[in-house]
Amino acid sequence: MMNKLYVIGIGPGGLEHMTIKARHAIEDSDVIVGYTKYIDFIRALIGNKIIFSTGMMGEEERCREALKLCKEKTVSVISTGDAGIYGMAGLILELKEDDDIEVEIIPGVTAATAAASIIGAPLMHDNCIISLSDLMTPYDLIKRRVELAADGDFVISMYNPKSKGRTDYLMESINIIRKYRKGSTPIAVVKNALREGQKYSLFTLDTFRDEEVDMLSIVIIGNSQSYIKNNRFITPRGYRL
């Protein structure tokens, strides 16, 4: 019998925003592997299951342990959001060498779509996600991607927009985008999307401030057609209304 390893996106963090399949996979598992804070999000579902958790920067250790444990038990590796978007799916597949292990990737609600649901419909046309974290991507490449996305008129969702060690990256990115977008272009900052402590602010390129932005925030910048209506951020799909 082939051993089973689930790689699960648990969504923003609230149990009500997980997929039914994600919940069933967790219930089916003997072992739950994840970042300590993310384990707390699903504590109510874990019960007496075995837990393997680490702090920040422990991704490779968690994935290696999950691959080892699943040779004898059914294991779930959890990520917030979607496991295939800056989550654990890629690393699990890169490290997997045993053909006797079946990996099933279970998608979840990613931060951009969670944030979008709170502020309106900003992602209705072509859009992209860019992480401003330079832990694994050179900053020069990040800035080039921001510039190309701005030039291509994509709606841009920025993950990991600002940390204590990266205080200037977000405003530098905004200034790049200003070269390609009008000052009235809407920008949303959503913090703790669909979980406790949720709040958001709407700006334009001309009025944007980054004081409240942190690593729990998502920043969404509209395209050339985006606008605010009744305090809702809208990017038209192109219907003839």
Distance CA 147, CA 192 (A): 27
Predicted local confidence at residue 189, as pLDDT: 98
Distance CA 75, CA 103 (A): 10
Distance CA 234, CA 241 (A): 14
Distance CA 236, CA 125 (A): 7
Angle of helix 139-151 relative to helix 169-178, nearest 10 degrees, comes to: 30
The count of residues in the chain is 241
Q: How confident is the model at residue 99 (pLDDT cuts 50, 70, 90)?
A: confident
**Tens digit of pLDDT for each residue in 45-72?**
999 999 999 988 899 999 999 999 999 9
Chain centroid to Cα 71, Å, comes to 29
**Residue 232 tokens, joined:** 């809702």
Nearest to 29 by CA among 44, 49, 14, 55: 49
Distance CA 205, CA 185 (A): 6
Q: How confident is the model at residue 3 (pLDDT cuts 50, 70, 90)?
A: confident
Write the CB contacts of 230 (distance below 8 Å, at least 6 apart in sequence): none
Instruction: Give the start-to-end residue ranges of the domains of the chain.
Output: 3-106, 111-234
pLDDT at 36 over 70: yes
* Integer CA distances (angstroms), 48 to 9, 13, 29, 31, in order: 21, 20, 11, 9
Percent of the chain with pLDDT strictly greater than 90: 94
CATH, domain range 111-234:
3.30.950.10
pLDDT at 92 over 90: yes
Mean pLDDT, rounded, of the chain: 95
Q: How confident is the model at residue 1 (pLDDT cuts 50, 70, 90)?
A: low
Q: Output the CA torsion 24→103→77→196 (10° steps).
A: -60
Nearest to 66 by CA among 40, 42, 57, 58: 58
* Integer CA distances (angstroms), 28 to 3, 5, 36, 73, in order: 13, 11, 20, 10
Phi, psi dihedral angles at 224 (to 5 degrees):
-65, -15
pTM: 0.94
**Tens digit of pLDDT for each residue in 111-135?**
999 999 999 999 999 999 999 999 9
Q: How confident is the model at residue 13 (pLDDT cuts 50, 70, 90)?
A: confident
Distance CA 7, CA 112 (A): 20
C-alpha neighbours within 13 Å on the C-beta side of residue 50 = 14
Any idea which fold 3-106 has?
Cobalt-precorrin-4 Transmethylase; domain 1 (3.40.1010)
Helices (H) and strands (E) in the chain, counts: 8, 13
Distance CA 1, CA 224 (A): 54
**Tens digit of pLDDT for each residue in 140-186?**
999 999 999 999 999 999 999 999 999 999 999 999 999 999 999 99
